[in-house]
Amino acid sequence: MAINVASCHIYPLKSAAGQSVDALKLLPRGPQGDREWMLVDHEGVFITQRTRGCEKLALVTAERTEDGIVFSAPDRQLLFVSMPEKEIAVQIWKDDVTALDAGDTAADWFSDYLEMPCRLVRLSEHDAHKRMLGEKWQVKGGHVSFADGFPLLVTSEASLAALQPHFPDGEDVAMTRFRPNIVLSGVEAFEEDVLYRIKIGGVVLRLMKPCTRCKITTITQETGAAASNEPLKTLTKLRRGKSDDLAGVFFGQNAVIEQTGMIRAGDAVEVLERQEMHPALAMAELKFAG
């Protein structure tokens, strides 16, 4: 069966609403327009839907304009933010990063919405401020935006379809919960776990490791609320594993960009190289059958 790009997605503000797009312009750090903005608390530490009380970040949308970006949220006036210039030190996971502060108006707008002090920051384009990939995952020139740790997340329609029968009756888990950048069609369930290098047009990607999943998957992205502990409960039963360097529950593959360029929904995917399944998935009940 032919493998294709089923859909493409970006998340302009980290942990806010995603956008389905026709095409992705892939830069070394990831898709253009993806996770270029982020919220931080009063200590400069990043905020996501994992942060207590911040699940409703899922309802914040962002639209790029020629000279900035426009944010919207339920029962709030639109917020226009131009390109910021003031540098600010922030922290994302263990990385200390220099970002650009969007100013007090934006800080007040988001603080009011989340009911906690916070500031909006933008990714710096300065070479000296690049957030580099971990040494183990490094490719030439590889760095990352405000994404958790990798430029891309790749999932497949077949893998979600394989999980669906295991969810409780009436539990509808959409792909939006997993927040992928690229969704594949035409692969077998969990086949992405054994793909290593794939080519899409002139773009070459490396799928580096299984993606460990967190609380955000339990939040319905269309409502900003968690109705249950799914899909984590089911993933814990069927997709849980541990190895010397990785432990957790898994869905999708973290990827890096070997060759930049443009990809589009519908593009054909060529498998250049496969890999052994990661040891952390060896004992998982639900995995690629081969």
Helices (H) and strands (E) in the chain, counts: 3, 24
Q: What is the pLDDT of residues 195-226, one digit of tens each?
A: 999 999 999 999 999 999 999 999 999 999 99
Please give the single-letter amino acid code of residue 217.
Answer: T
The pLDDT-based confidence of 134 (bands split at 50, 70, 90) is confident
- pLDDT tens for residues 143-173? 899 999 999 999 999 999 999 999 998 888 9
Torsions phi, psi for 164 (to 5 deg): -50, -45
Q: Is the pTM of this model over 0.85?
A: yes
Q: What residue segments make up the domains of the chain, in order of their start?
A: 4-31+132-281, 37-126
Question: Tokens 């950048």 correspond to what residue?
Answer: 181
Question: What are the start-end ranges of the H helices in 102-178?
Answer: 104-114, 157-163
Q: What is the mean pLDDT of residues 58-70?
A: 95
Distance CA 238, CA 246 (A): 16
Which homologous superfamily does the CATH classification assign to the domain defined by 4-31+132-281?
PK beta-barrel domain-like (2.40.33.20)
Torsions phi, psi of 165, nearest 5?
A: -65, -15
Q: What pLDDT score was predicted for residue 109?
A: 98
So what's the pLDDT on residue 171? 87
Q: How many residues would you count in the chain?
A: 290
Instruction: Phi first, then psi: give them for residue 215, nearest 5 degrees.
Output: -55, -30
Q: Is the pLDDT of residue 227 over 90?
A: no
The pair of structure tokens assigned to 2 is: 């032919």
